[in-house]
């Protein structure tokens, strides 16, 4: 995204570590449907 290393929002989420590691872990625990809903919400912003 902002650094050019991720081409999608999901790739950007997966690249986060350190302080965002817990958020990444919780995102990965969601079902595919739940992730798709979050991505649709982000696309609507």
Cβ burial of 23 (10 Å; 0-12, 13-18, 19+) is exposed
Residues 31-43: tens digit of each pLDDT? 999 999 999 999 9
pLDDT in tens, 1-45: 677 778 888 888 888 778 888 888 999 999 999 999 999 999 999
The string of DSSP letters for 3-23 reads TSS-SSHHHHHHH--GGGHHH
* pLDDT of amino acid 26: 93
State the pLDDT at residue 1: 64
Chain centroid, CA 1 distance in Å = 11
What pLDDT is recorded for position 39?
Answer: 93
Per-residue pLDDT, 43? 93
């Amino acid at each position: 995204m902002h650094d050019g290393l991720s081409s999608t929002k999901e790739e950007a989420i997966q690249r986060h570590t350190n302080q965002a590691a817990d958020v990444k872990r919780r995102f990965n625990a969601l079902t595919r449907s739940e992730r798709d809903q979050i991505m649709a919400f982000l696309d609507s912003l």
